[in-house]
Amino acid sequence: MGHKAQVIIAGKIALDLLCTPSTGIVHAVFQRTFYLRKTGTLTPAPPITTGNNARQSFTGQPSARAVSQPALLCCIGQAELERGPLNVRTTLNDITHVTVGDEWSCDQQLVSIGNIELDLSRAKIWLPTPLQQSAVPDPQSVALLARFLEINTPQPQVQHRINEMINEQLINAVKQLQQWLDHYQNQGGQPAIHFPDHLLGCGDGLTPAGDDIVVGVLLAMRAWKMPALDLLVAEVTDRLDTTSDISAAHLLAACSGSGIAPLHQLIDCVGTRDGNQLEYKFNNSRHSRKHEQIQSAATALCSYGHSSGYHAMQGVLLAARHQQLWPL
Amino acid sequence: MSVLLNEVRKGFYLDSVALMRLSAELSALSGIEEAVLMIGTPSNLQIMRDADILDSAGEEAGPNDLVIAIRADRKASTNRALAHAEKAMKGNSAAGKATEHRARTLRGSHASNPDANLTLISTPGEYAGIEANSALDLGLNVMIFSDNVPLERELELKQRARDLDLLVMGPDCGTAYINGVPLAFANAVNKGSTGVIAASGTGLQEFSVLLHRAGGGIKHGIGVGGRDLSDSIGGISTLSAIDLLANDDEVEQIVLISKPPGEATAKAIFDKLAACGKPVIACVFGLSASQIPDGISCTQTLREAAELTHRQSANAADPTETNTTPDLHNLASELTIPTGAQSLVGLYTGGTLCTEALLILGRAGLSCSSNTSKEGLDSTAQYQLIDLGADEYTVGRPHPMIEPAVRTPLLQQAVNDKNVAVILLDLVLGFGAHEDPAAEVVSALTAAEANKPLVVASVCGTDKDPQDYQRQRAALEAAGVIVCNSNSEAAELCALILEPR
């Protein structure tokens, strides 16, 4: 007997993938989600424009290696699945009969995966909330975010030297990324320092911590219109084959300006809405409310994945600190 | 000479939690020196190469492959660990193959269980209110396990429930007993004639456990949530719970466990309790007997509340467990703290237990700093009590009752700190808690240097709990831990040990 379910809400990249007549296979199955892979290859999606917010355009050109990048993926899940560009929240109550390698196809807004049928006809599309044009990180919010990260450092289940080595490599790679960004500013757009090769793909989770950090940096830099974004996008798209297909798909989405909803919410909170620093400085009640919002957004993001949310937040902090050093 | 084994699973994904859990399981197997599961990205392979745990098989892995790297004392150990990993991965991929019906919505679930009159909601806080409202629409009482529900939403839900003659337990209601049935994080205790109203959490657990051990039992344990007795909420659920317990003929007496209520709310609550027609015992932390109206018995600790409840019960049975209460003064005089050490560190998994210890130590003249107090934790204070279950310690990581290893780094730090004279711990057993919390404590203590601090603990559990109270207690005692019969006894003992001699 087949299982019929509705798609409730889906990210734009996922919906674009499913809405066009397409075929593919089930790429990976987890306890409450599974990934569909579309047959073929992809190039980076164009930047996502939301509502009246005309985002800075993506001018980084995909390199030749991008042509052989992993096929586009989307993640099918149940009602609790977080909103995100690749995520498809459905009314499915049981995914246990889905197996890696199962074929899927989509025709006339109906996705067939084995004996599952997903109806797209009433699906809502999810896009990140539009940001105001003049958003920049607020220094006190950045300090609060740094404190939150310090207090909430994830603890590994086992203390072994591999964890220490991963941390060491991440710290070094992040430092190199900071230097790379700083040199971009000093050298007028041409970093003298090599982009850290060991950042992407570094970490012991499904999406490596290094990738999660870069996702946070990419989204924050786009939100705050930081000039090094184009070059960072080019460097990342050039290295997508150094991480898993699933993580690469999330990185690509971030390159085009889209990540999971709590990450956008955090970036939104950290950026001042009107750019009027004096008002924030002297209006304590408003400040306090805003800090509560940051605490709440950071807490929500931290609960995402094992430590993906935490690491993405580290990326946001890195971008925020860079923006403060090199304001527009 | 150690043996290295790499196994590569092509195109195989596990989520991060499963990867790390399996890594931890393999590392804990006998003979295993190191066990790692990571995807084979170039960056990760380089780390494994530098760590000398990558062999020729692992070198072949790509970014979409899972590398299992095991180093052990001999080949048999690596093979056993690999077999464990493969079995676990097979189990993970086949997880939930059984096709039992699972409703997709609350309404669907209610349709298949039309006689149900209670729903337990555990969703992210921002959605809990929506689900709770749906439950009230269906005429269901509600237990909200979720935290982070906005105060205004809590008020709105409770007012609506009151109008509908229904009860809202929570938010952040982690423990409850309804008609003797434990819900969520609760201990296996005898069903009895006592009705309890508590914020819900370890206060209710400790009281239930101590009453069970004394020979009593619980009919209902209603968790109203930590904010119910504030003046913002006005004790709406507490007032409803008093009515429910007063009207239940099988409830012999009512026990209230809470922090101090708001001023206006306190009057309404105590007036109602005093007029309910049943014996009432109040254990309100921070309030003395003089602040509680006549006709309501007041106790300062959960242990006193359990003992008094049992003494007052018409159907008191013999104790289920026979751990005798030691003479704490004698015990304290026999104990020796490390020379020069003067500090106390309390590492708690239960918030109410931490608060209870804070008050007991305060009454004994030891002014403790704690994250449960309004002032917050001062990490330089001589006496510190830390609630590791508080939000600041649990965001993005498991609660220490579920994963006791969360406490281990702080415990190891305290054990090796020459200034620390006494370490105070709690272990909370029961449904939902870790299957063997004592093992983690024992492991941290056995790795400690000589001349370590005294470790005083209490175990909140019963002989009927899945973890077995006596087994947990014996494991701690074998590691040199002084195990008290209750949290209050443990705190009192610490006060006696540290008082000037």
Tens-place pLDDT, residues A67-125? 334 348 999 998 889 999 999 999 998 787 888 888 899 888 899 998 899 999 999 99
Judge if A160 and A111 occupy the same domain: no
- CB contact under 8 Å between B43 and A198, yes or no, is yes
- CB contact under 8 Å between A306 and B41, yes or no, is no
A29: which chain B residues are within 8 Å (Cβ-Cβ)? Answer: 93
Domain end: A126, A144, A163, which one?
A126
Backbone angles phi, psi at B407, to 5 degrees: -80, -20
Q: Write down the residue that tokens 């001023």 correspond to.
A: B263
Task: Residue B397: name the closest of A44, A6, A153 by CA.
Answer: A153
Output the CA angle B173-B176-B179, nearest 5 degrees.
Answer: 150
CATH 3.30.70 domain locations along chain B? 3-93
Could you tell me the end-to-end alpha-carbon distance of chain B, in angstroms, rounded to an integer? 54
Q: Write down the ipTM of this complex.
A: 0.83
B42: which chain A residues are within 8 Å (Cβ-Cβ)? Answer: 197-198, 201, 242
Judge if A23 and A150 occupy the same domain: no
Judge if A92 and A191 occupy the same domain: no
Residue A46: DSSP 8-state = P
With respect to CATH, is domain B3-93 assigned 3.30.1120? no
**Closest CA of chain B from A327, distance in Å:** 32
> Which residue intervals of B234-327 are DSSP H helices?
236-246, 263-274, 302-312
Q: What is the CATH number of domain B113-312?
A: 3.40.50.261
Distance CA A70, CA A30 (A): 19
**A312 has a pLDDT exceeding 90:** yes
Coil/strand/helix, residue B288: coil
A30: which chain B residues are within 8 Å (Cβ-Cβ)? Answer: 13-15
pLDDT at B405: 86
Judge if A230 and A141 occupy the same domain: yes
Residue-averaged pLDDT of chain B: 89
pLDDT per position as a tens digit, B66-109: 999 999 998 888 888 888 898 888 765 433 333 345 566 787 77
In a domain, A20, yes or no: yes
Residue A32, CA distances (Å) to A4, A245, B89, B95, B290 in order = 17, 19, 15, 10, 55
DSSP string, A171-232: HHHHHHHHHHHHHHHHTTS--SSPP-TTTTT-SSSSS-HHHHHHHHHHHHHHHTT-TTHHHH
| Contact (CB, 8 A) for B131 and B106 | yes
The chain A residue lying nearest B393, using CA atoms, is: A152
**Closest CA of chain B from A198, distance in Å:** 5
Judge if A117 and A148 occupy the same domain: no
| B15 → closest Cβ in A30, A302, A310 | A30
Residue A257: DSSP 8-state = T
| Contact (CB, 8 A) for B428 and B207 | no
**Closest CA of chain B from A243, distance in Å:** 5
In a domain, A96, yes or no: yes
Q: Write down the residue that tokens 């467990």 correspond to.
A: B321
* Preferred mutation among A244, A247, A250 to probe B, highest tally of B CBs within 10 A: A244
**B337 has a pLDDT exceeding 50:** yes
* Preferred mutation among B25, B37, B39, B148 to probe A, highest tally of A CBs within 10 A: B39
A263: which chain B residues are within 8 Å (Cβ-Cβ)? Answer: none
pLDDT per position as a tens digit, B226-280: 999 999 999 999 999 999 999 999 999 999 999 889 999 999 999 999 999 999 9
Distance CA B19, CA B61 (A): 17
pLDDT per position as a tens digit, A262-303: 999 999 888 865 444 444 444 444 456 667 788 888 988 988
Residue B318, CA distances (Å) to B214, B217, B303 in order = 7, 12, 17
pLDDT at B156: 96
With respect to CATH, is domain B328-498 assigned 3.40.50.261? yes
Coil/strand/helix, residue A136: strand
Q: Write down the residue that tokens 């409730």 correspond to.
A: A8
In a domain, A131, yes or no: no
Judge if A38 and A107 occupy the same domain: yes
- CB contact under 8 Å between A152 and B392, yes or no, is yes
Domain end: A60, A91, A126, which one?
A126
Judge if A255 and A119 occupy the same domain: no
| B43 → closest Cβ in A207, A242, A302 | A242
Judge if A172 and A263 occupy the same domain: yes
The chain A residue lying nearest B122, using CA atoms, is: A80
Task: Residue A212: name the closest of A263, A257, A163, A172 by CA.
Answer: A263
| Contact (CB, 8 A) for A108 and A22 | no
pLDDT at A246: 94
- Sign of the torsion formed by the C-alpha atoms of B496, B497, B500 and B501: positive
Interval B426-444 mean pLDDT: 93
- CB contact under 8 Å between B124 and A303, yes or no, is yes
| Contact (CB, 8 A) for A324 and A139 | yes
Interval B113-124 mean pLDDT: 86
**A44 has a pLDDT exceeding 70:** no
Judge if A161 and A220 occupy the same domain: yes
Distance CA B112, CA B98 (A): 19
Q: Which amino acid is at B110?
A: H
pLDDT at B415: 93
Residue percentage of chain B with pLDDT more than 90: 66
**A239 has a pLDDT exceeding 90:** yes
Residue B187: DSSP 8-state = -
> Which residue intervals of A12-98 are DSSP H helices?
12-19
In a domain, A270, yes or no: yes
Strands (E) across A233-328 are located at 271-272
* Preferred mutation among A157, A302, A310 to probe B, highest tally of B CBs within 10 A: A157
B78 membership: H or E segment, kind and range: helix B75-93
> Which residue intervals of B348-498 are DSSP H helices?
351-363, 391-394, 408-415, 437-446, 469-478, 487-498
* Preferred mutation among A9, A118, A306, A310 to probe B, highest tally of B CBs within 10 A: A306
pLDDT at A151: 84
Distance CA A321, CA A315 (A): 10
What dihedral angle (degrees, nearest 10) is formed by the CA atoms of A276, A277, A283, A287?
Answer: 110
Distance CA B25, CA A179 (A): 39
Distance CA A158, CA B440 (A): 12
- CB contact under 8 Å between B34 and A29, yes or no, is no
Q: How confident is the model at residue B316 (pLDDT cuts 50, 70, 90)?
A: low
A89: which chain B residues are within 8 Å (Cβ-Cβ)? Answer: none
Output the CA angle B312-B265-B138, nearest 5 degrees.
Answer: 85
Q: Which amino acid is at A155?
A: Q
- CB contact under 8 Å between A94 and B14, yes or no, is no
Residue A65, CA distances (Å) to A41, A61, A70, A113 in order = 11, 11, 11, 31
Lowest-confidence region among A77-81, A184-188, B147-151, B160-164: A184-188
- CB–CB contacts below 8 A, A to B: 149
- CB contact under 8 Å between A305 and B16, yes or no, is yes
Q: How many Cβ atoms are within 10 Å of B56's Cβ, its own excluded?
A: 7
**B54 has a pLDDT exceeding 90:** yes
Backbone angles phi, psi at B369, to 5 degrees: -100, 140
B48: which chain A residues are within 8 Å (Cβ-Cβ)? Answer: 162
Output the CA angle A151-A154-A157, nearest 5 degrees.
Answer: 140
| B63 → closest Cβ in A203, A244, A302 | A244
**What counts of helices (H) and strands (E) characterise chain B?**
18, 19
Judge if A266 and A196 occupy the same domain: yes
Backbone angles phi, psi at A162, to 5 degrees: -65, -40
Q: How many Cβ atoms are within 10 Å of B168's Cβ, its own excluded?
A: 27
> Which domain, by its residues, includes A237?
136-325
The chain B residue lying nearest A157, using CA atoms, is: B24
| B17 → closest Cβ in A100, A203, A306 | A306
| B41 → closest Cβ in A165, A244, A310 | A244
CATH 3.40.50.261 domain locations along chain B? 113-312, 328-498
Q: What total of structural domains would you count in chain A?
A: 2
pLDDT at A50: 40
Distance CA A174, CA A216 (A): 12
| A201 → closest Cβ in B13, B63, B406 | B63
- CB contact under 8 Å between B44 and A31, yes or no, is no
Judge if A143 and A282 occupy the same domain: yes
B67: which chain A residues are within 8 Å (Cβ-Cβ)? Answer: none
The chain B residue lying nearest A241, using CA atoms, is: B63
β-bridge partners, B370: B385
Q: How confident is the model at residue A156 (pLDDT cuts 50, 70, 90)?
A: low
Which pair of tokens denotes residue A11? 């990210």
Judge if A241 and A293 occupy the same domain: yes
**B123 has a pLDDT exceeding 90:** no
Cα B315 → chain centroid: 30
**Closest CA of chain A from B332, distance in Å:** 36
